[in-house]
Amino acid sequence: MNFSFNHPYKFAGEYAVPVAYFCMEYAIHQPLKLYAGGLGFLAGSHMRSAYELKQNMVGVGILWKYGYYDQVRKSDQAMDVLFQEKIYGFLVNTEIKFSIQVSGHDVWVTALYLPPEVFHTAPLFLLTTDLPENDYLAKTISFKLYDANPQTGIAAAILLGVGGAKLFEHLNWKPERYHLNESHALPLIFYLYDRYKNIDLIKEKMVFTNHTPEQAGNPQTDFMLLEKMGFFCGIPATEVRMIAKLDDHVLDHTLTALRLSGIANGVSKKHVNTLIKMWQAYEEICPIISITNAQNFTYWADHEMYDGAATNDMAGIQKRKITGKNNLFEVVADQTGEIYDEKILTIVFAKRFAGYKRADLLFHDMERFNQIVNNADRPVQIIWAGKPYPMDYPAIGIFDKIANITKSYKNCSVLVGYELKLSKLLKHGADVWLNVPRLTHEASGTSGMAAAMNGAINVSTPDGWFPEFAKDKVNSFIIPPAPAGLQDFEQDAIEAANLYDLLEKEIIPMYYDYPDRWLSLIKNSLQDVVPFFGSNRMAAEYYDRMYTLNNRIQQINVSEKSIHHVH
């Protein structure tokens, strides 16, 4: 083995604690397709900020042979899923080889390395089982991100958690903190316990971030299946049950991470309140604090627009927005055959398609929708984009519904290929960035942060990060939420009506009748989103509040007060 690893840059003194960052997906840059949605976007920004701040952090993930999937179209414009092999010439083959145990069999693993200078990130290692030493089944572990087969998903968790820990042993790099960015790499905890046999030491080393209250992001799995597959690294079942405080046949991954970590965080203040309500009834969970998600300013922001904001050059800001719109409209024309106008108010809904995000809320009352989109005096253009999970047929159905409806309108369209490159174009080209999740379902929702960094005005229900940023009619527009406790269909009806009213009575008139006020909204939004929603703040906060042990006591006291207050 010729590959040797020393951290490739000199790290800053306050960031000297070596941290291993475990995440199932990373959205680093368009050529590296290892991500599905917000979790990946967040991890990519974290890696970039760790590099900018010169933090002693190393990331570990999986090199997905077929990525997540390529979003393409069927002959009738409906969405289709393409799994295409990815080749990356810029990754370094470490030629390290070691084995992990999956279902009682040896599975061989190697790692490829993304050096910091390629995309200006902290060092990142990507594990793969696509090796000639493995049979086909073992190779498939690293084929598809979030494979629909539950057993392949369990095997991927073992690969990330156990494989990541073993990789660092081979590299002779010794992390003092292990950061589980979601519970996907949970076998890491059992691997470390098997080595140290000391729960207090494990808790000292482990920090955990939860990114969603949604059921799909908080899996529960049959204990016997996990044991059979090697999830617990050979630790006797009775011992696993004891350390995980398990009293039935199902392992809750998030709850187990909360019990076996020293400290955990939610990704917005609102999300932490939701988390505490979800978990406070359970015994022996670690303190939960809030570290609000953020996006990397260097990568996402329109820096020329910021120059305009700094010098109060409103004409310069407007010129940059027109440039962004024209760049986006080239893609719209290419994909849909529609020619859009830079002078017309352009509304964008773009994010991972999931039911609670309500991509089709604008269609709730087609009479009201038609009133808005067919208004010749104050016209609008609406663009949708987003990738559903490839087996989430209801979400794909929403995409297909939008594709079908937009065929009838020359000012409405839906785009495929919502990845980093298109995401940047959409944020740069949007006048309005629309976000309509059902309240308490969106833990953070970082797309609006990057949109604000490109002069797009956020129009959103007050969920996730948004209440920490929004000043209604000053830097954004808040959609009045429905009263709490209603059925979903009642909530949808009320919030759709509130959205129509907001568009017709305030947003569209301001854009056309008061352009100076609109530009001042853009300027306020640009300035208010930094520095707090830039990921350098976030990356620094993780070190200060999660990774540095002598700061944790203070966080624990704050967390206990929060739990008491919510209770």
In contact, 529 and 469? CB cutoff 8 Å: yes
Asked whether residue 527 falls in the same domain as residue 394, the answer is yes
- Domain boundary among the residues 258, 290, 322 is at 290
Q: Which residues contact 466 (CB under 8 A, 6 or more apart)?
A: 435, 445, 448, 458, 460, 476, 478
- 335: burial class by Cβ within 10 Å (0-12, 13-18, 19+)? middle
Asked whether residue 282 falls in the same domain as residue 428, the answer is no
Query: Does some domain include residue 230?
Result: yes
pLDDT along the chain (567 residues), means of 10: 84 95 98 95 98 98 97 96 97 97 98 97 98 98 96 98 97 96 97 96 96 79 97 96 92 96 94 89 92 97 97 97 98 97 98 90 97 97 96 94 97 97 98 92 87 98 93 97 93 96 98 98 97 96 91 59 45
User: According to the model, what pLDDT value does residue 354 have?
Assistant: 86
User: According to the model, what pLDDT value does residue 556 have?
Assistant: 58
Asked whether residue 308 falls in the same domain as residue 390, the answer is yes
Q: Is the dihedral of CA 540, 472, 414, 298 positive or negative?
A: negative
Asked whether residue 376 falls in the same domain as residue 454, the answer is yes
Query: Does some domain include residue 7?
Result: no
User: According to the model, what pLDDT value does residue 552 have?
Assistant: 66
Give the domain range for residue 191. Answer: 15-290
Residue 483 burial (CB count, 10 A): 8
User: According to the model, what pLDDT value does residue 563 have?
Assistant: 46
Asked whether residue 263 falls in the same domain as residue 305, the answer is no
Residue 109 phi, psi (nearest 5): -130, 140
Pairing, β 105-114 against β 92-102: antiparallel
Query: Does some domain include residue 561?
Result: no
Cα gap 161→61, rounded to integer Å: 9
Query: Does some domain include residue 565?
Result: no
CATH number at residue 213: 3.40.50.2000
Asked whether residue 418 falls in the same domain as residue 350, the answer is yes
Q: Could you tell me the CA-to-CA distances from 443 to 64, 93, 133, 206, 265 in Å, in that order? A: 26, 36, 41, 22, 11
Inter-axis angle of helices 253-260 and 269-279, to 10 degrees?
100
Asked whether residue 394 falls in the same domain as residue 514, the answer is yes
For the chain, what is the domain count?
2
Asked whether residue 261 falls in the same domain as residue 306, the answer is no
Q: Which residue has the tokens 């609406």?
A: 382
User: According to the model, what pLDDT value does residue 237 have?
Assistant: 95
Asked whether residue 386 falls in the same domain as residue 426, the answer is yes
Cα gap 462→488, rounded to integer Å: 16
Q: Which residue has the tokens 């090796």?
A: 131
Cα gap 47→34, rounded to integer Å: 14
Cα gap 515→468, rounded to integer Å: 26
Cα gap 299→303, rounded to integer Å: 10
Asked whether residue 514 falls in the same domain as residue 385, the answer is yes
What is the layout of strands, in order, in the sheet containing 288-290? 92-102, 105-114, 124-128, 57-62, 19-22, 177-181, 206-209, 263-266, 288-290
In contact, 79 and 403? CB cutoff 8 Å: yes
User: According to the model, what pLDDT value does residue 1 have?
Assistant: 52
Q: Which residue has the tokens 């050979």?
A: 234
